[in-house]
Structure 1
Amino acid sequence: MRFLKKVLLAAALCGAAAGAFASPAEPKNGVEYETLATAQPTEAGKKIEVTEFFAYYCPHCNALEPQLAAWVKKQGDNIVFKRVHVSRDPSVAPQQRLFFTLQAMGLLDQLHAKVFHAMHVEHNRLNTDEAVFDFVARQGVDRQKFIDTYRSMGISGRIRHADSMMQGYNVTFWPMIAIDGRYITSPSQADQASQSAKNEEQLNAQALTVMDVLVAKAKAEKK
């Protein structure tokens, strides 16, 4: 009898251990992510378009950036990744215009992380045009060329398009991630079911796991 009890106890412990290491439950629509009522147009063709709605001043966007960058690298050619700097009010408008100017000049890969570092580590708010011009000049960018692009109609058009995308995707908070023009999720949303995250890094990791599932789902639906 004692031997049987020991066997049953061992089996129970093994079962508990297996449950502890089981793969997480499939994320639920309306909980960890949402499906847009109206799908938004994408430009990625057969690939999956992933769009981050973010802002340079946002501390949560800053915290997500390293993990998101690693996730994008891991996805490789599986996705087409885009960023959209959101609008808010005139006090942060220079940061938004900075982003789209760097994008237009092909400097985003080079300076994107440096903008986050300037704002959240060096506490340079970049909240005036002159502060932005001084920052980019220190990075070795041609100041006048940058200013001409920054003040161009092309950048104003990109900002209007960003505003239109915010409306289409119903972006009211950030960071928010859109998958293939149909699904949206975020770090806070990805934890709604389990509420197991202890810190922001874990919240972000959960969001990236949900994004993995949504990319796979969108890819299967394209076939």
Structure 2
Amino acid sequence: MNRRDFSIQALSTVGLTLALPGLSLAQGAPVEGTNYVKLSQRAPTSAPAGKVEVVEFFWYGCPHCNHFEPYLAAWLAKLPADVSFRRVPVAFRENPFGIHQRMYFAVEAMGLLNTLHPKIFRAIHEDQLKLDKPELIQDFVAKQGVDAAKFMATMESFGVKTKANQARALADAYKIDGVPALGIAGQFFTNVGLNGNEKNTLATVDYLVNRARTGR
């Protein structure tokens, strides 16, 4: 779903990107304009020299992002040494995107990605916790054994707000209007809607990583 189509009711029932039929990658290599888009102007990257950056754009409240997580985890388990991966939460507007965005960056800043990141997805999509208000987030993290006061202070810190501003600028550079979506090397963009399913999407990412490696 395009972000222009959001309504308060839609946010509670659907995600941001509908899975549309795409080319089966069994038929051949991914096709520009069908399975991925090449950016007309490069987006900024932060990967170390010699590494190809892959960015996942997501939103905690998106059911498609939640569904994508196990496929992404399996892909990350085999991540080549020359690929640098990072997640970037989107914020199409302040509520509920903005608070979820700051929540992610607080999790990251406190070194809790491995433990708390998947629990947030489960809390929202399995336990039906919206986690869209400070008091709800504070109660949730406290129940996970996290110092809630420190977490909430981190969410409102200068560092987290700076990360949020940078995330919004990067999403604009990639022209992200739905999630989950992936940016590769500041040059390419793809998503599940362009590829038909999660496996094809990650196969397209692999193809684009290889293109970035070889400078094509």
TM-score for the superposition, normalised by structure 2: 0.84
1:75 aligns with 2:69: no
- Rounded to whole Å, the distance in 1 between the matches of 2:38 and 2:80 is 24
- Rounded to whole Å, the distance in 2 between the matches of 1:122 and 1:67 is 21
CA contact (8 A) 1:49 1:180 kept: yes
- Rounded to whole Å, the distance in 2 between the matches of 1:76 and 1:138 is 36
Name the structure 1 match of 2:115. 110
Aligned pair count reads 190
Name the structure 1 match of 2:54. 50
1:85 aligns with 2:89: yes
Partner deviation per Cα, 1:110-153 (whole Å, 9 max, x = no partner):
21111000000000010101111111111111111112111112
Name the structure 2 match of 1:41. 44
Counting aligned pairs with the same residue, the percent is 37
1:25 aligns with 2:28: yes
2:88 counterpart SS class: strand
Name the structure 1 match of 2:68. 64
1:128 aligns with 2:119: no
Instruction: For residue 67 of structure 1, report the CA deviation from its aligned partner.
Output: 0.3
- Rounded to whole Å, the distance in 1 between the matches of 2:137 and 2:174 is 29
Instruction: For residue 89 of structure 1, report the CA deviation from its aligned partner.
Output: 2.6
1:141 aligns with 2:135: no
- Rounded to whole Å, the distance in 2 between the matches of 1:205 and 1:180 is 20
| Structure number with higher relative contact order (C-alpha < 8 Å, ≥ 6 residues apart) | 2
- Rounded to whole Å, the distance in 1 between the matches of 2:194 and 2:35 is 5
Which is further off, 43-52 or 55-64? Answer: 43-52
Name stretches of at least 5 consecutive residues in structure 1 with no aligned partner.
Answer: 1-21, 192-202
1:179 to 147, 165, 184: 184
Code of the aligned partner of 1:118: A
Code of the aligned partner of 1:154: G
- Rounded to whole Å, the distance in 2 between the matches of 1:70 and 1:128 is 32
Q: 1 or 2, which has the higher helix percentage?
A: 1
CA-atom RMSD in angstroms? 1.5
- Rounded to whole Å, the distance in 2 between the matches of 1:100 and 1:145 is 13
Deviating 4+ runs (over 3 angstroms): none
Name the structure 2 match of 1:154. 159
Name stretches of at least 5 consecutive residues in structure 2 with no aligned partner.
Answer: 1-24
Q: Which has the larger radius of gyration?
A: 1
